[in-house]
Structure 1
Amino acid sequence: MSDPIKHECGIAMIRLLKPLSFYEQKYGSALYGLKKLYLLMEKQHNRGQDGAGVGVIKFDPEPGEAYIFRQRANGSSAIAEIFDKISAKIDRSGSKDEVKSSDYLKKHSPFVGELYLGHLRYGTHGGNSKDLCHPFIRENNWMSRNLMLAGNFNLTNVDELFELLIELGQHPREKADTVTMLEKMGHFLDEEVQRNFTRFKLEGHSNRDISSIMSHHVNVETILKRSLRDADGGYVMAGMLGHGDAFVVRDPNGIRPCFYYKNDEVVVITSEKPAIMTGFNIAYNEVKELGLGNAMIIKKNGDIEEVNIQQAGERKSCSFERIYFSRGNDREIYKERKLLGHLLAPKIMESVNHNFKDTVFSYIPNTAAVAFYGMIEGVNELLDDWKATEIGKLGAKATPDKIKSILAVHPRRERVAVKDAKLRTFITDDAHREDMVAHVYDVTYGLINNQVDTLVVIDDSIVRGTTLKTSILRILDRLHPKKIIIVSSSPQIRYPDCYGIDMSRMKDFVAFQAMVSLLKSSKKEHLLTEVYHKCKAQENLPKEEMVNYVKELYAQFTADEISKRISEIVTPDDIHAEVDVIYQSIENLHTACPNHLGDWYFTGNYPTPGGNKVVNKAFINYVEGNSGRAY
C-alpha cells in the first residue's frame, strides 16, 4: 500500500497442557512456551509496529509468590526488546545450571509459566506510549479476580458502554475501549467470584479452601455473555484470569480474524493462520477458525470448549485483511490477491487499446507483488486470445515466421521502482520535505521508450492519494512514459472504518474528495447541505435507527466518473505523462474473496448499527470542519 495506514493489531495465546517438565524432557527446554510465543509474535510482526506486550501466568503458586508477569515496550523493535528483557530476568534468577531446570524455573524465574499472552499494537488513534500497549491488567489480591486482557478490536459505542459502567456504580479512570472492556469484564468477574464465594461459604468451606477450589467453578461463559451483551464493533479479545482460566472471544460478524490449533500438549490462538503453521510445523487444514460470536474457553484444569457468546450475524469478515493487512503466505489469501489482479486485466487492456507492444507492467509497493502476478496472468490470457485471432487471420498466408512473430509477443514486465529503505525524510518544512519524499523510490532508467510506452503500475489500494501525487507519479514520470496507469487491486475507499483501521476522517479519502469535486462541477453542491441536515436530524437517534445518507451523494456518479476525477486530483501539475487511475470493482472483489464480504469502507454497508452512527458523525465533522475522530 503506497498510502501508509495503521490497522488491526495481533494476538497470540499459548496454553501449555502438560507440566513444564514434559517440555524440558521432550523439547530440551522448559522455555518451550516462551520461545513459541516469540515465534508467533514475530510471524505476525506485520500487525504491530507501534508496540507489543507479553503476559504470563504461573499455575499453583504458594502464597507470597508472584504468579502474574507482564512486559511491554513501544516502537517497531518492541518484540525484540521485550524478549531480551525477559531473557535477562530469567538469567538473573539463578545460576547457569539452575535456569535449565523446569522445577527451578517454575518456582524462581519470572515469565516461565503455563499460560502466555502476546499482543502486537498498531495505534489507530492516540499516542504510542508503553502504557497504551496491551495486555492491560486489573489486579486484585484475590487470585480469581485478576484479569489480563489484550485484543484486536475497536468498539463503536464506547460512550454507551462507559455510561453503563457508571450506572453500575463504577468510576472508570478513562474513556477508552480497552479500559472500558477491562472494567466491564472485571465487574462481572467480581460478581461471579462473589457468587461462588457466598455459595461455598454457606456450604461450610473456609476462606482459604474457597480460594483453592474457586478455579473449578468460575463460569467464564456467563461473564463473557454479560460483558459483551451491548458491545458494537469488530473484535477478538483474549483474556487470562489469575487462577489460570483463559478465553478468546470473537465478534458475531467475524469482522476480525481468529484461528486456533490444539493437541494434547498445547492450545494456540492467533490472528493469522500461517503463524501457527510455521510455529508448530503443521498442515493448513489443522488450523481452525474460531466461529462467529464464539469464545474458546480454556479452563485451568485443561478442559477446552468453544461456546457461543453472541448469536452469529451475517459473516462480514474484513476484506482488507485479504487485500493487504494479513501476510500473503496464507495460501487462500495468496490465491485471492492473485485473482484480484487477474480480474483487472480486461479493464487495463481496454485502457491501453489492447496495445501489448507499447505497454510495460510493474508494481509499487512490494505488497502488491501477488496482485501483479495475477494481473500478468490475466493479461496473458487476453494475449492468447489475440494471438489466436491474429493467427486465424493469416489463413492460407500463414508461414512459420509469421506465426512465430505473433507467438513472440509477451507482456513487458519490469521492476521500474524500488523503495530506498535507508532514506529518511528528516526535513520538516513542507516544501523541502516533499522534495525528499519524491526520492524515496529509485527508478530503473532505460526500460521505457520515451513518449511511446504506457506504464501500468498496480498498488494494493489508494486511500488518500497523497503519496501518489507527492512522490510516486513524479518518480515514474522521470522515465518519460506517454501515459501512466495506476491500478488499485481494491475498490475506491469511500467511507470511514470504525472496527480497527486508521481511516476515520472522510476528507482524507481521495474518492470522497473526487465525489465532492464532481458535485461542485455539476452544480449539485446543494446536495451536501441536504445530506448534512439529514445527518443532523438523526444525530441523537438510537444507532439502530440511523441510516447512511452519505450513500446518496456517491449515487450521483458512476465509479468510472469518480475514478476519472481521482486521476485529475492526484496528477501533479509538473509532470508530462497522461495519468489514469483504475480501481477494482465491488463485484470483482466479491468474486475474488467470496468468504470475506466485509466491504463497508467501499460500499457504506456496515455490519453493525454503530457503523451508520460513525459515518453519520464523520460526515457532520467534515461539513462543520471538525477534524476529530467520529467514534
Structure 2
Amino acid sequence: MSDQIKHECGVAFIRLLKPLSYYQQKYGTALYGLNKLYLLMEKQHNRGQDGAGVATIKLDIEPGKRYISRHRSMASNAVADIFEYIQKKFAEVQKEAPEKLTDAVWLKENMSFTGEVLLGHLRYGTHGKNKIESCHPFLRQNNWKTRNLVIAGNFNMTNVDELLQQLYDLGQHPKEKADTVTVLEKMGHFLDTENQNLFDHFKSEGNDDNIEISKLIADNINVQRVLRRSARDWDGGYTIAGIMGHGDAFVMRDPSGIRPAFYYYNDEIVVAASERPAIQTAFNIQLEDIKEIDPGHALIVKKNGKVSVDMFSEPKEKKSCSFERIYFSRGSDASIYRERKQLGRLLCDQILKCVDHDVHNTVFSYIPNTAEVAFYGMVEGVHKYIKKYQRDKLLNRADKITDEELTEVLKLAPRVEKIAIKDVKLRTFITQDADRSEMVAHVYDTTYGLIKKDKDMLVVLDDSIVRGTTLKQSILKILDRLGPKKIVVVSSAPQIRYPDCYGIDMSRMGEFVAFEAAISLLKEAGKEDVILKVYQQCKDSAKLPKEEVVNYVKAIYEPFTDQQISDRIAKIITPKETNAKVEVIYQTLDNLHVACPGHTGDWYFSGNYPTPGGNKVVNRAFVNWMEGKNQRAYM
C-alpha cells in the first residue's frame, strides 16, 4: 500500500491441557507454551507494531502465591523485547541451577510466566494514544480468584458514550473514556454478578464453608452467560480473548464476523489466533484442521479442560472485513493468496482497454510490497489475453503467415519489470511540512533504462489508494522521470469513500482522495447545496437512536459515476509539470465480491455498515469535516 495506514490488532491464545511435566517429557521443555506463544505472536507481527503484551495464569496455585503474570512493551520490536524480558528470568536459573529448568513442578511454583493459560496481543493504535497503558492485555484485579479478568482484543466499539452511560447507571466511575475500559468493566460487572449469584445460591443451600464455595463458584461459572450479558449492547467489530483468574478462558467474535478469529485443539492444547497461517506454522497443523470461530460465538475453555463453541449473541449477516483479504492479513494464507491473485486477474479487462490492448508497448509493474500477489494474478490475466490474441492471429488468417510475422506473434509476452523500489531505510523525520514533503518524494527509488521514452505506457498496481499522498509526492514524480507517455495507476481495491470504525485507522472523511474528488466535482458542477443538505441531515441524525440513522454521506457520491470520480482522482494526484498522461483504474465492487466471496464486509467502499453505529460514525465524520475538526468520529 503506497499510503500506509494503521490497522487491526492481533491476538494469540494458548491453553495447555496437560501438566507442564508432560511437555517437558514429550518436547524437552516445560516452557513449551511460552515458546509457542512467541511463535504465534511473531508470525502475526504485521498486525501490530505500536506495542505488545503477554499475560499468563497458573492453575491451582495455593493462596499467597502469585498466579497472574503480565508484561507489556512499546519497544520498536515489542514482541522480542517482551520475550527477552521473560527469558532473562530463566537465564538466571540456567546460570545458578540449570537442573531446575527441567523441573516442571519447581518452575511453576517459583517462576513467573509458567502458567497453563497464555494470552498475547499485538497492538496498532488507531488514534495516536501510544502509551504503555494502552497496550493489552488489560487486567481487572480482585482478591477473589474467580473475579479476576484478563482481556486482549482486536476491536473497536462505535457506541462508547452509550456503554459508558450504562456503567454510570450501575454506579461505576470508569477512569477513562475508551472502548477498552468500557469492555473490561462491562465484562467485569457481569463476572461479579455471576460470582455473587453463585455465592448466594450455594449459601442458600446451607453451605457455610467459604473456601468450598469458592471452589464451587470456579467450577460452575457460566462463561457463556457472562459473555451474553456483557455483549448485549456492544456495537462494533471485535475478537476478544479473555482469561478468568481461576482458569476459565474464552475467545469471542462479533455477530457480523467483522474481525477474524481461528482456532484448533487436540488433547494437548487449545490455540486461537487472528490469522490462520500463524497457527499452521507454530504448531505444524494442516489448513483443513483449523476452524473459524463463527460470528456471535465464543470458543470457551473451562478450567477442567472442557472445550466448546457456544453462541453468546444472535449472528447477523456475515460481513467479514474484505480489507483483511486485500491487504491486512499475511498473504501466506492459502485462500488469501488465491483471492489476491484473483483481484489482479479481474482488473485485466479494464487495464487492457486503457492501454488500447497495446501489450507490446506497455510495461507492467507494482508498488512494493503488498501488491505483489495481486500483480502475479494481473500478469496471468495478461498472459491469457496474449494467448488468445496469438491463437486468433494464427487461426483466422486467410493467407499463409510469413516466418517473420510468426516470430513476431509468438514472441509477444507481458513486459514485467520492478520499476518502483521502496527505500526502507529512509525516514521522514524532519518536522517542517515543506522539508517533509521533499523527503517523502525520495521514499521510493526507481529502476532506470527499462522504459522507451515517449513510446511506452506504464501500468503500476497498488493494493489500495487511500489518500493518494505518496503517489502525488513521490511515486508519480519518479515514474514520470522515466519518460512514459502514459502512467496507469491501478488499485486492486475499490475506491475508499467512507471511514472505518471497527479497527482500521481510517476515520476522517478528509483523508480519502475519493471523497476529495467527489467534493471537487460537486463544487465544479455548482451543487454545493448537496453538501449543505448532507451536513444538515448528518447534524440532525445525531439526536436519533443509532438504530434509526442512515448513511446520508452516500448522497455526496450519487451524482457521479465511478469513472468520473476515478478521472478526478487522477487529476488530483498528478503532480504539476508531469509530462505523462495519468489515469487511475479501481477494482469494481462486483469483482471484489467475486474474488472474496466469503468476506463481503465492504462498508469503506460501499457505505453499507454492518452495525447501526457505523451510520452514526460516518455522519459524524462528515460533520467533523464540515466544521474543520481534525478528530476521529468515534471514541
TM-score by length of 1: 0.99
Displacement of 1:89 after TM fit? 2.0
Cα deviation, residue 561, structure 1: 0.3
Most deviating of 204-213 and 222-231: 204-213
What's the counterpart of residue 332 of structure 1? 335
Structure 1 position 199, deviation (Å): 1.9
Is 1:74 matched up with 2:74? Answer: yes
* Separation (CA, whole Å) in 2 of partners of 1:226 and 1:137: 20
Cα distance in 2 for partners of 1:208, 1:308 equals: 32
Instruction: Report the Cα offset of residue 427 of structure 1.
Output: 2.1
- The match for 1:303 is 306
Equivalent residue in structure 2 for 1:318, among 308, 321, 335? 321
- Work out the CA distance in 1 between the residues paired with 2:620 and 2:58: 45
Residue 411 of structure 2 is aligned to residue 408 of structure 1: yes
Distance across 1 between alignment mates of 2:29 and 2:622: 56
5+ residue gaps, structure 2, are none
1:25 to 2:28 alignment? no
Aligned residue number for residue 141 of structure 1: 143
Structure 1 residue identity aligned to 2:136: H
1:128-527 superposed matches below 5 A: 128-202=130-204, 203-527=206-530
Equivalenced residue count is: 631
Task: Check whether the contact 2:53–2:72 (CA below 8 A) recurs between aligned residues.
Answer: yes
The answer (yes or no) to whether the contact 1:252–1:311 under 8 Å persists in 2 is: yes
Moved more, 135-144 or 380-389: 380-389
Whole-angstrom CA distance in 2 between matches of 1:35 and 1:609: 41
The aligned amino acid for 2:148 is: N
Report the Cα distance in structure 2 between the residues aligned to 1:160 and 1:425, rounded to whole angstroms.
Answer: 40
The one-letter code sitting in structure 2 at the alignment partner of 1:272 is E
Query: Which residue in 1 is equivalent to 2:90?
Result: 90
In structure 2, give the amino acid aligned to 1:14: I
Give 2:580's aligned residue: 577
Deviation of residue 139 (structure 1)? 0.3
Q: Write out per-residue CA displacement over residues 344-368 of structure 1, whole angstroms, 9 at most, x where no aligned residue.
A: 0110010010111110000102110
Task: Give me the CA root mean square deviation.
Answer: 1.1
SS at match of 1:569: helix
Q: Measure the CA separation in 2 of the matches of 1:154 and 1:116.
A: 23
* 1:63 lines up with 2:63 in the alignment: yes
**What displacement does 1:532 show?**
1.1
Secondary structure of 1:301 counterpart:
coil
User: 1:439 deviation in Å?
Assistant: 1.4
Distance in 2 (alpha carbons) for counterparts of 1:401 and 1:478: 34
Once residues 258 and 75 of structure 2 are traced to their aligned partners in structure 1, the CA distance between those partners, rounded to angstroms, is 27
Q: Does 1:102 align with 2:104?
A: yes
The aligned residue for residue 127 of structure 1 is: 129
Contact 2:551 2:619 in 1 (8 A): yes
Shift of 1:214: 2.2
C-alpha deviation, 1:167, in angstroms: 0.6
Determine the C-alpha separation between the residues in 1 that align with 2:403 and 2:86. Answer: 70
Matched-pair contact (CA < 8 Å) for 1:504–1:618? yes
SS in 2 for 1:215: helix
Cα distance in 1 for partners of 2:92, 2:170 equals: 45
Greater Cα offset, 204-213 or 260-269: 204-213
Residue deviations 1:155-199 (CA, integer Å, cap 9, x gap): 000110000011111011111111111000001111111111122
Aligned residue identity for 1:499 = Y
Alignment of 1:621 with 2:624, yes or no, is yes
What code does the residue aligned with 2:167 have? L
Matched position secondary structure for 1:40: helix
Look up the SS of the partner of 1:572 in the other structure: coil
- Mapped partners of 2:460, 2:574: distance in 1: 15
Which segment is superposed worse, 399-408 or 34-43? 399-408
Residue in 1 that maps onto 2:590: 587
Partners of 2:32 and 2:403 in 1: how far apart?
65
Does 1:559 pair with 2:562? yes
d(CA) in 2 for partners of 1:442, 1:416: 8
* TM-fit CA distance, 1:395: 2.6
1:396 partner SS: coil
Conserved 8 A contact 1:90-1:110: no
Deviation at 1:393, TM superposition (A): 4.5
Whether contact under 8 Å (2:158, 2:236) holds in the other structure is yes
Counterpart CA distance in 2 for 1:210 and 1:108 is 28
Letter aligned with residue 425 of structure 1: T
Distance 2:464 2:35 in 1: 35
Q: Secondary structure at the match of 1:367?
A: coil
Provide the C-alpha distance between the structure 2 equivalents of 1:612 and 1:407, rounded to a whole number of angstroms.
Answer: 54
Say which SS state the counterpart of residue 550 (structure 1) adopts: helix
Please tell me whether the aligned partners of residues 90 and 111 of structure 1 are also in contact (alpha carbons under 8 angstroms): no
Amino acid at match of 1:477: D
Distance 1:76 1:319 in 2: 29
Q: Give the residue type in structure 1 aligned to 2:69.
A: F
Q: Would you say 1:36 and 2:39 are equivalent positions?
A: no
Give me the whole-angstrom Cα distance separating, in 1, the residues matched to 2:465 and 2:413: 28
- Please say if residues 358 and 453 of structure 1, whose CA atoms lie closer than 8 Å, have aligned partners that are also in contact: yes
The alpha carbon displacement at 1:129 in A equals 1.1
Counterparts of 1:625 and 1:201, CA distance in 2: 59
In structure 2, C-alpha distance between the alignment counterparts of 1:211 and 1:79, rounded to whole Å: 36
Distance 2:40 2:250 in 1: 18
Mapped to 2, the partners of 1:623 and 1:540 lie a distance apart of 18
Report SS of the residue matched to 1:208.
helix
Give the 3-state SS of the residue equivalent to 2:139 in structure 1: strand
Is the contact made by 2:207 and 2:213 (CA closer than 8 Å) also made in structure 1? no
In the alignment, what sits opposite 2:605? 602
Alignment partners' CA distance in 1, 2:150 and 2:380: 48
Q: CA deviation at 1:400?
A: 4.1
Please, which moves more after superposition, 133-142 or 441-450?
A: 441-450
CA distance in 1, matches of 2:90, 2:234: 39
Work out whether 1:49 is the aligned partner of 2:52: no
Encode CA deviations 1:429-474: one digit per residue, 9 max, x unaligned.
2222222221112211100011111110000100000111111111
Aligned partners of 1:234 and 1:253: how far apart in 2? 8
AA matched with 2:37: L
1:376-403 deviations in whole A, cap 9, x for unaligned? 1111111222222222343322234422
CA distance in 2, matches of 1:75, 1:574: 42
Range 68-77 or range 233-242, more displaced: 68-77
Distance in structure 2 (CA, Å) of the matches to 1:27 and 1:166: 50
TM-score w.r.t. structure 2 length? Answer: 0.98
Whether the 8 Å contact between 1:184 and 1:227 is mirrored in structure 2 is yes
Report the AA paired with residue 174 of structure 1.
E
Any conservation in 1 of the 2:297–2:312 contact (CA below 8 Å)? yes
Counterpart Cα distance in 1 of 2:92 and 2:185: 35
| Contact 1:465–1:570 (Cα < 8 Å) also in 2 | yes
The SS at the match of 1:13 is strand
